[in-house]
Structure 1
Amino acid sequence: MKEKEIIQTIKSTLNSEYIGDDCAYLPDLGIVVTQDSLVEDVHFTRKYSSPYNLGWKSAMVNISDVCASGAKPVYLTIALSLPKNIGNDFVKEFYEGAKDACKDVKIVGGDITGSDKIYISVTAIGSTKGRKISSRSNAKEGYKIIVSGEHGSSAAGLKSLINGIDNPEFIKAHLMPAAQRKFSREIALNAECDYAMMDTSDGLADALYQIASASNTVMSIDFEKIPYNKKLEEFPDWKDLILYGGEDYELVAAVPEKLLKKISNYTIIGDVKHGSSGIKINGKFYSDIDSKLYNHFEE
């Protein structure tokens, strides 16, 4: 069973209006809530990731989800499940990494349990005060598709680690991603109309496809307009790394054109068009990209 099928089963079983975006938006409380988990030998291996790296990344991926909603990240809780051979030095270094990633986001609690390997589960809360919150279903025909930064670097970093290639810039992009707080803040504070926004944790193509599916539109992009580090071209599959690699934690948004004059540091990569949900890349239509994407539940 695929991850998206499991999510759909949960959503239909609970009949919940809150499931479907990076965060659950609770307007009566003025907050968004998100939760993400990192599992040893699924999302990371201690061979490549230091405790500091793990703390940083586990905090940052949740902060990124809050930013994708348009909310301001404010609080984090961290639950750690650790094997018996993990000592205090690991815990201290892990929380140093998480603290440095958080900056002004406060870590306010969590849980510690024993386990056969490392499991990290983080919950993040964001404030919606003064901000317009995004939804994947809000992309509309005529909107511009914009991204916050370069794509493909994290996937190149992972490949470099696995193959023992010295690529410090790409490796840092993989081990220590940065949430796009300024990009999110500028959009959420200045938006007057509905807009759609996601992070690219599962890849740029996946984010585009999720928005297209939720809003029943076509996300049409020009590949040549996607920003990327030119060193990526040293990899034979560099185009796939850009589209499908994932874990860059950049933001992609579909916004009305009039909003663009109020924000900075973005790249227009395409337009939202009318049609059956899917994505167009250089004019070629894709209604299903699952075969290209990472699936947690594949054998």
Structure 2
Amino acid sequence: MTSPRRFLVQTPLLEIACLEWNPEGLRTAVLAHGWPDSPESWRAVAERLALDGYRVLCPALRGFGATRFRHAHTPRSGELAALGRDLLDFVAALSLHRPLLVGHDWGARAAANACGLQPGVASHLALLSVGYGTNDPRQALPLPQARNYWYHWFMATPRGADALRDDRRAFTRYMWDTWSPAGWYEEAQFEEAARAFDNPDWAEVVLHSYRHRWGLADGDPAYAEDAARLLPAPVLTVPTLVLHGGADTCNQPATSEGKQAWFSGGYERRVLDRVGHFPQREAPHTVADAILKFCGPASA
């Protein structure tokens, strides 16, 4: 498979860096990465989808990689409504017609929120490693999951903010080392992903995202209407596939259980044995096979 094309997409607020495979594909799949990761996380999955005839686009989220805010005065918000709106702006800027939306972690929240804000925007939705309906700061949180979210609480403190800003590679490597079974990645993979964290806005977007998620920071007023539409979480009409690693020690598999009532257009959930928080990296062929089986070939 040839290397992906790299280009920039201008939206009202962002200049979004994007990787693209198979520009002439019959159907389009947009793959949104998570935290702490980068668009390259999708490489093996993207290559497989491209071989099956999909045009594959992997944008860098706000604050990551070569994506930049177009205006200095734009708040460096990481709120989840903003991520959903960014994805809708990306789809609109490229005039994509009902693409398949796939997301991991932050990217999964962005993709689900995009579908909640604009029903019909996607043909299918695939969510990796998160449970839907968990944007609410008032949500019930079992103690084992609260323990897993130690980094959320840590980043709400001045010490945690300093650790994120001053030693971002050590901070994020700890997540990679503890969220999945030992030995799952190679050093070069982490270094490739970590280059995306050198974005000048990365730390502020990340800190705001986790603080806002729990009601510890105000949101950007520009997203107030979107945020109101997403709480409580709307029922999604798009056919949805959920893939969750059975060995995920960030978001426990239980966090995506029992969500069928939130989906009216078809729903399937699979737990992947011995896979941790990064299924697209740890088991890319399994992930790609599941997506293709659920969504159908590009010629469909």
Q: TM-score, normalised by structure 2?
A: 0.25
| TM-score of the two chains, using structure 1 as the length reference | 0.25
Name whichever structure is richer in strand by fraction. 1
